[in-house]
Chains A and B, each alone.
Chain A
């Protein structure tokens, strides 16, 4: 097994830390033994920090939220005391988070209840309950993890239901929406696409993520900022700067591909119009990102335009 060596390294570090972490996690209260907790930590460490140096592994372990990890794993193991604590702390929050994500009471209840079932482990395998909490690794807060799981569940469910609906939608409006798309793509000069790809590929991943979130997903600056954990004005400046430099760089790239400046300008100018239509279309066709009704999609776009004017 290739993971044996890393496991040894992790084990070595863990041996020094496990007692400290066990005490920190207050495992005694929820009835988690030192040995079982050490196994959990070894598992987590091997998964995420196996290739690191001893120092990195140590840092990794110390950064884990071991108390929440212990609680979650105790719940997963079916320890009733742990469940009580979990429900006291998270039941209400779970529902509120679901409501925020689904934005509708019945859907939120549905979402939350389904997650409860998963967390509790209704599905049994080999006679043992399999709880979703067993997959929590303490890398982030348990509350954050719960929200993420809810969101993931919501997105997946929306996508499933959308697939069912989409056949009807396509029969009604899909033709008129989809027909222009291939021709539009084909009409784009291949040099322009190449040049754009080249420029985008040179951007840092974060910049591309910001651009996609802003221009594709129609996210607000505040949302992007919170998503990346930075200040809103940082995102504002970044987008401003990127939009300007992108144009220049694509122009330069096009001229390297033998386009005259005028041609390049025209190629770029052709399509700045119809921003709303474009984004809506791209979102409705991009199944993964079309998680909202059309109304919801328009709102951030308009906000983006307004900010652009201001």
Chain B
């Protein structure tokens, strides 16, 4: 029970002299037994409020047998009394709201997050792919990037390859996964001739780009090691294994399985499958065969993005470490894009093109970043808007424009609900939106 101010007690005691004479025992008894008339009861109450003596008599005269019974009888139902029940109601309400929110969130995930997360898993693979190719294949990353297919061509082959991959089914699932991965690998940045080779049915000659896809698995096994350190273990031998048809070269396949832990292999492989399917139509409905469990598995490889002091940063380990991402795009952004990932320690040298020096001299100041898996948008000062299809490996500058003019000012806010639909808010109060992954823009 709360305390009343002491002054209340003081005044209750001091300022209430008993005026009338005490009620006689008859009246007090009748009061205790609630058999007084209203008027008489009020008189007695008035007296009781002033007379400690009569209160005392009243309490002393309470019937003896009742207390125990009364107390127990009255306390047990108090659990269902309103003061208790209102907390029950409140907590039930909170629970219901939380449940509703959870369900809504899950539904949201199903519709929008799925393609995003699945695709995210490949980010790592891609980032390590170019050097891998350079090492194993004798190709420079420059050549590869220059040969990157433009979008329409990129979209077509995977579907076919996917079908073919399923045709490999007689062997193990793993075989299928590997095949799929050979397709999935080059999607974003692989050299175009890979597709050509595969399309011609020359599967055994599938180049070693596949190998790069092993990188994430290797990295998972090595738990936290630097990406650069992980590459050497992947040998030429395994390149052949991966490149060849599983049924032709099953021995080699076994060796690969032995090298890689099946579980991690499987999860990464799943993500590759999902990407292969979702890449042709990134905003399409989620592929039915993909379960949420897969999404969760692949989420581990999803890079996180942030803006730190105007620099765009990326993290592959849930934000434990961040690396700067240099965004460089060639002027002819429709064609060859170029990656320059510069880690903070500077170990890795970025590949630069001459015509990008200008941009480097005045570093971009980013204000906003939005990512849907590998599909990354970054915007900043001076209407700078960059888009990457491959989790930041390659960037292209995008200048939203409409018949009435193009975007001006600093980009303050970027929002992409999914890879297709996004909005941009600028410091000049403009709002631009796209519904086709940045191909066309509408000013609002």
Interface residues, chain A, with chain B CB atoms under 8 Å away: 48, 56, 60, 63, 96-97, 100-101, 135-141, 143-145, 147-152, 154-155, 159, 185, 188, 192-193, 196-197, 200, 204-206, 208-209, 211-217, 219, 221-223, 225-227, 229, 231-233, 236-237, 239-240, 242-244, 246-247, 250, 267-272, 275, 278-279, 282, 286, 288-289, 291, 304, 307-308
Query: Cβ of A268 and Cβ of B13 under 8 Å apart?
Result: no
Which residues from A are CB-within-8-Å of B8?
196, 200, 211, 215, 246, 250
Query: Cβ of B14 and Cβ of A208 under 8 Å apart?
Result: no
Query: Cβ of A100 and Cβ of B49 under 8 Å apart?
Result: no
Q: Which residue of B lies closest to A237 (CB)?
A: B83
The answer, among B7, B33, B37, B57, for a CB contact under 8 Å with A188, is B7
Which residues from B are CB-within-8-Å of A268?
5, 7
The answer, among A56, A60, A148, A206, for a CB contact under 8 Å with B61, is A148
Q: Which of B313-331 contact A (CB under 8 A)?
A: none
Query: Cβ of B56 and Cβ of A216 under 8 Å apart?
Result: no
Quick one: given A205-B48, A212-B49, are A139 and B10 in contact (CB under 8 Å)?
no
Give Cα distance in the complex from A94 to B101, angstroms.
67
Quick one: given A147-B63, A205-B42, A209-B45, are A140 and B29 in contact (CB under 8 Å)?
yes
State the total of A-B contacts with C-beta under 8 angstroms: 221
Q: Which of B26-65 contact A (CB under 8 A)?
A: 26-37, 40, 42, 45-46, 48-53, 55-64
Query: Cβ of B52 and Cβ of A216 under 8 Å apart?
Result: yes
Q: 16 additional contacts, CB 8 Å, given A155-B60, A289-B53? A: A139-B27, A145-B25, A145-B26, A148-B29, A188-B10, A193-B15, A208-B50, A211-B4, A215-B4, A215-B12, A227-B55, A227-B58, A227-B62, A232-B71, A288-B53, A304-B1
Interface residues on B, range: 35 or more
Interface centre among A96, A212, A236 (most CB of B within 10 A): A212
Which residues from B are CB-within-8-Å of A240?
1-2
Q: Does chain A have a CB within 8 A of B67?
A: yes
Which residues from B are CB-within-8-Å of A272?
3, 5-6
Query: Cβ of B61 and Cβ of A150 under 8 Å apart?
Result: yes
* Distance between A33 CB and nearest chain B CB, rounded to angstroms: 23
Query: Cβ of B52 and Cβ of A288 under 8 Å apart?
Result: yes
29 A-B pairs, CB-CB below 8 angstroms?
A60-B37, A135-B26, A140-B29, A140-B35, A143-B63, A144-B29, A147-B62, A148-B28, A151-B56, A154-B60, A185-B10, A193-B10, A196-B8, A205-B42, A205-B46, A209-B49, A212-B48, A217-B52, A222-B67, A227-B58, A229-B33, A233-B81, A236-B1, A246-B4, A272-B3, A272-B6, A275-B3, A278-B6, A286-B13
Query: Cβ of A271 and Cβ of B45 under 8 Å apart?
Result: no
- Enumerate the 7 nearest inter-chain pairs by beta-carbon distance, A residue then B residue, closest first: A140-B29, A289-B52, A271-B6, A208-B49, A151-B60, A288-B53, A205-B45
Which residues from A are CB-within-8-Å of B71?
222, 232
Quick one: given A144-B32, A209-B48, A288-B51, are A227 and B5 in contact (CB under 8 Å)?
no
Quick one: given A154-B60, A205-B42, A211-B12, are A140 and B33 in contact (CB under 8 Å)?
yes
Query: Cβ of B7 and Cβ of A196 under 8 Å apart?
Result: yes
Give Cα distance in the complex from A250 to B7, angstroms.
10
Which residues from B are CB-within-8-Å of A159?
53
* Distance between B97 CB and nearest chain A CB, rounded to angstroms: 28
Which residues from A are CB-within-8-Å of B40?
48
Query: Cβ of B4 and Cβ of A243 under 8 Å apart?
Result: yes
Give Cα distance in the complex from A192 to B3, angstroms.
17
Give Cα distance in the complex from A7 to B335, angstroms.
118
Query: Cβ of A212 and Cβ of B35 under 8 Å apart?
Result: no
* Distance between B1 CB and nearest chain A CB, rounded to angstroms: 4
Query: Cβ of A136 and Cβ of B59 under 8 Å apart?
Result: no
Query: Cβ of A282 and Cβ of B13 under 8 Å apart?
Result: yes
Q: Which of B237-264 contact A (CB under 8 A)?
A: none
* Distance between A65 CB and nearest chain B CB, rounded to angstroms: 9
Quick one: given A151-B60, A151-B61, A278-B6, are A286 and B30 in contact (CB under 8 Å)?
no
Give Cα distance in the complex from A48 to B29, angstroms.
14
Which residues from B are CB-within-8-Å of A48?
40
The answer, among B12, B50, B59, B83, for a CB contact under 8 Å with A227, is B59
